[in-house]
């Protein structure tokens, strides 16, 4: 499954309005949601049930509230081998659906209509904006199930809410005082608590290898904005084609402009907050001079015919078509090997994308992923307050996150898909060959969607390190990117959390909560002149100033000076 990791400012709802979404059908069931003392509890190593007391069959609705999140769903959702094995252990069958449009809009529509599926996985980057704010509001309105009474009964679920989470995010977002000690969110895709288990997403710029070869350009040499511009100019004038023989687009992104920020890394640093240090003074990110430079640079690319003018309106389907046909000579995002390995790289292996640079940031360091020891923001699961059988949902999650369940989720059926060798799972050679040649077979076995949206506090690469003979060429390629862009760890508390104690914080939030800075940037990109573009940007920045961003920044600076554990 494609793991879309879109982060906005903690102080900004950055959703781009899209078409209205259809409402999600769900089970509108009332009833007592207290833990069922008669239901079998799980344990931290094996939550499966004995055949003699197998749980009753239950069907639950599940929504993957991620744009394009259904890509990893098996064709037969209910009777693929992994789903059948989980049903044998838990009694649970999932009716799954996903979205291909705005996550924020879907959540707003869903909560407004009261049609919340039994289980939902959605982005949860912050509770002060975007999806997390919508989810927190729904929790306070009683639309989400309070999980607190259930956690001791389901130890693997309890581990998910306590492991691999940044200490400041846990304090201020997951356990916000507003929630009064109640737990509504189950994190997924979180590390196991070790630095080694933090996932490297390998965000960067990737250029078609055949084009670089034709231009006699070494990918590693393209590490500054000036060199990138020069490369894109050469591509524009090089008469290069996609697999259909149509002209390429020099540069672009995937859906909704994700991730255009990879093209402006020259004005970034190693940051973990919404504040920047400039000329010995703290400033709010949106008011930074860097925002002007980034806007003007991306505008230059667009106006010069070097960047896809449709990038910010691309649907997931349109964007993937451009990517998998080689129409984008350079794209900014993750390496997208899951999609490319079964499309473009099979039909046109010479077009395999290479990592540029890595690009350098404003300090001359490599532009790479910045993390705290635990994760701040993650895909998160919540249950509907109306779910008829919460124990069934938690039994499912508890089993999938047990030792036995994780083997099933990642490796499939022992003896059929893998064998244990020296305590580690290894693919049966014929199965590995089939999966390598056709990744869709692995998906349809049921081996893609569970790790991506149902497991957490875990790292398969740490628990089951692969030997070289077990790694695919794509595993090795992904690792090569990670070696070039190692994660930067900053063990600090984000300064963004200090702003929440500012007396005028809520007043500020009310003024900027619905303001879409990204939408204003896009207007500036396409303005008729540079002067008009700057006016649009400065007007947008004035929105933050009028709301009190400068006063808030002064407050944060004063509070940060009183501590030695604050990071910007």
CB 29 within 8 A of CB 64: no
Quick one: average pLDDT of 239-256?
97
Number of Cβ atoms within 10 Å of the Cβ of 520: 18
Quick check: 452 and 187 in contact, CB under 8 A? no
What is the pTM for the complete model shown?
0.74
Residue 67 — φ and ψ, nearest 5°? -60, 115
Token couple for 19: 């078409």
Question: Is-contact 301 232, C-beta < 8 A?
Answer: yes
3-state class of 363 per DSSP? Answer: coil
DSSP secondary structure code for residue 208 in this structure: E
CA-to-CA distance for 184 and 176, rounded, in angstroms? 11
Reported confidence tier of residue 327, pLDDT bands at 50, 70, 90: very high
Predicted confidence at residue 2, as pLDDT, reads 41
pLDDT in tens, 372-422: 999 999 999 999 999 999 999 999 999 999 999 999 999 999 999 999 998
Distance between CA atoms of 175 and 53, rounded to whole angstroms?
36
Per residue in 282-299, pLDDT tens? 999 999 999 999 999 999
Over 263-328, what HEC string results?
HHHHHCCCCCCCEEEECCEEEEHHHCHHHHHHHHHHHHHHHCCCCCCCCCCCCHHHHHHHHHCCCE
Which string of b and e fits 148-185 if b means at least 16 CB within 10 Å?
eebbebbbbbbbbbebbbbebbeebbbbeeebeeebbb
Query: What is the structure's pLDDT at 68?
Result: 87
Per-residue tokens: 173 = 């977002």
Closest CA to 518 of 501, 505, 536, 506: 536
Amino acid 17: pLDDT: 34
What residues pair up with 60 in beta bridges, in sequence order?
94
Which residue carries 């790289």 as its tokens?
Answer: 345
Within 57-91, strands assigned E span 58-67
């Amino acid at each position: 499954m494609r793991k879309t990791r879109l982060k906005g400012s903690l102080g900004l709802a950055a959703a781009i309005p899209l078409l209205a979404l259809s409402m999600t059908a769900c089970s509108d069931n009332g009833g007592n949601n207290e833990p069922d003392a008669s239901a079998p509890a799980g344990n931290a190593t094996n939550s499966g049930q004995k055949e003699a007391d197998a749980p009753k069959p239950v069907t639950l609705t599940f929504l993957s509230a991620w744009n394009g999140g259904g890509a990893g769903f098996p064709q037969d959702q209910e009777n693929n081998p992994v789903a059948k094995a989980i049903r044998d252990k838990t009694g649970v069958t999932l009716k799954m659906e996903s979205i291909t449009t705005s996550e924020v809009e879907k959540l707003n529509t869903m909560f407004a209509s009261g049609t919340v599926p039994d289980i939902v996985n959605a982005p949860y980057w912050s509770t002060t904006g975007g999806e997390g704010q919508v989810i927190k509001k729904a929790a306070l309105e009683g639309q989400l199930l309070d999980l607190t009474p259930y956690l001791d009964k389901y130890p693997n679920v309890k581990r998910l809410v306590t492991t691999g989470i940044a200490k400041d995010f846990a304090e201020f977002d997951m356990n916000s005082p507003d929630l009064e000690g109640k737990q509504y969110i189950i994190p997924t895709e979180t590390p196991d608590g070790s630095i080694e288990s933090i996932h490297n997403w390998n965000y960067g710029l990737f250029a078609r290898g055949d084009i670089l070869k034709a231009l006699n350009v070494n990918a590693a040499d393209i590490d500054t904005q000036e060199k990138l511009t020069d490369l894109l100019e050469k591509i524009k004038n090089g008469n290069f084609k996609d697999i259909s023989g149509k002209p390429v687009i020099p540069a672009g992104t995937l859906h909704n402009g994700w991730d255009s920020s990879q093209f402006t890394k020259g004005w970034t640093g190693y940051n973990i907050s919404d504040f920047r240090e400039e000329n010995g003074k703290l400033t709010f990110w949106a008011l930074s001079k860097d925002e002007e430079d980034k806007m003007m640079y991306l505008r230059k690319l667009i106006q010069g015919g070097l960047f896809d003018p449709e990038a910010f309106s691309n649907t997931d389907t349109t964007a993937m078509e451009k990517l998998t046909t080689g129409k984008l000579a350079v794209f900014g995002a993750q390496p997208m090997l899951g999609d490319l390995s079964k499309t473009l790289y099979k039909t046109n292996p010479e077009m395999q994308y290479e990592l540029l640079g890595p690009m350098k940031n404003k300090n001359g360091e490599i532009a790479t992923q910045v993390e705290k020891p635990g994760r701040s923001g993650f895909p998160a699961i919540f249950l509907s307050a109306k779910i008829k059988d919460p124990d069934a949902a938690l039994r499912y999650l508890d089993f999938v996150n047990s030792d036995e369940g994780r083997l099933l989720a990642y490796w499939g059926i022992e003896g059929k898909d893998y064998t244990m060798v020296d305590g580690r799972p290894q693919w049966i050679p014929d199965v590995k060959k089939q999966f390598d040649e056709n990744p869709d077979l692995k998906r349809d076995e049921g081996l893609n969607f569970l790790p991506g949206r149902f497991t957490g506090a875990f790292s398969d690469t740490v628990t089951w390190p692969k030997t070289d003979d077990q790694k695919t060429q794509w595993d090795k390629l992904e690792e090569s990117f990670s070696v070039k862009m190692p994660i930067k760890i900053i063990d600090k508390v984000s300064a963004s959390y200090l702003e929440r104690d500012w007396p005028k914080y809520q007043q500020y939030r009310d003024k900027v909560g619905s303001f879409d800075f990204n939408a204003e940037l896009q207007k500036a990109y396409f303005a008729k002149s540079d002067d008009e573009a700057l006016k649009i940007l400065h007007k947008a920045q004035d929105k933050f100033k009028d709301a009190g961003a400068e006063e808030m920044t002064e407050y944060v600076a004063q509070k940060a000076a009183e501590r030695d554990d604050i990071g910007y």
